Amino acid sequence: MSPRPLAGRVFSAVGFMVIGAVATLLLSGLGSSPGTARTSPAGAVDIGFSQDMIVHHQQAVTMAQTVRGRVGPSVSQLAGTIELNQLKEIGGLQGWLTLWDAPMVSSDPPMAWMDPKDHDHGGARTATRDVMPGMASLDELERLGEAEGEDLEVWFLQLMIRHHQGGLAMTTAAARRATLPQVRDLALLMSVAQRKETALMTGLLTSLGGRPLPATGP
């Protein structure tokens, strides 16, 4: 991979995250006049969901960027949409954490904010207490970088379908149990969007003769 494309990816990622963070802070009233009501305190679910979803989204962005310019029009358009949408959401989540004076990275194990019962929702099982559901391994990401042609398209779709399915466990839990309504609303929107994208990716994968990977988990 040449330095120039990598630099462009880093620039675009940082740019969208900054835009999203600034927009979130402004819309949340951080720049309001004195005496204006501030956002209600965030709960453990709001903070934990935001921290974990940033990590989960960052890998999806990485996978989408990895196949940029290397796949056909249909898969390329899908990857671009995923990259753009998830970068915007990362920016918004980072803006919330800044507003709440919470760390960007949790010191707790992944999904510690979830109730054990939540792990059965969303269409995928959790992998372990140390790995979020749907996350690709380093070996799988390396294979994504090395694959070519139709094999690349199939492998990308398989990884991203599993990734989306894994994320649904978290979005479903946050939509049900987050303290703040804006967090519940975003989690619900994420669930809807990722289900639609999963259906689209499944159709593309089927047309290429591929099948979805098994859900992660014991």
Are residues 161 and 75 in contact, defined by beta-carbon separation less than 8 angstroms?
A: no
Q: Is residue 129 very low, low, confident or very high in pLDDT (cuts 50, 70, 90)?
A: low
Per-domain residue ranges for the chain?
3-29+42-207
Lowest mean pLDDT among 30-34, 105-109, 196-200: 30-34
Q: For the segment 61-75, what is each residue's pLDDT rounded down to a tens digit?
A: 999 999 999 999 999
- What is the residue whose two structure tokens read 């939540």? 118
Task: Provide, rounded to the nearest whole percent, the portion of the chain with pLDDT above 70.
Answer: 74
Are residues 161 and 138 in contact, defined by beta-carbon separation less than 8 angstroms?
A: no
Which whole number is the average pLDDT over 146-159? 98
What's the whole-number average pLDDT of the chain? 83
Lowest mean pLDDT among 51-65, 96-110, 112-126: 112-126
Specify the DSSP element, H or E, that contains 185: helix 181-207
CATH class of 3-29+42-207: mainly alpha
Which among 93, 54, 100 is positioned nearest to 183, based on CA atoms? 93
* CB crowding 107-135: b at 16 or more within 10 Å, else e: eeebbebbeeebbebbbbbbbeeebbbbb
pLDDT at 139 over 50: yes
What is residue 40's predicted lDDT score, i.e. its pLDDT?
A: 52
* CB crowding 43-59: b at 16 or more within 10 Å, else e: bebbbbbbbbbbebbeb
Element counts in the chain: helices (H) and strands (E):
6, 0
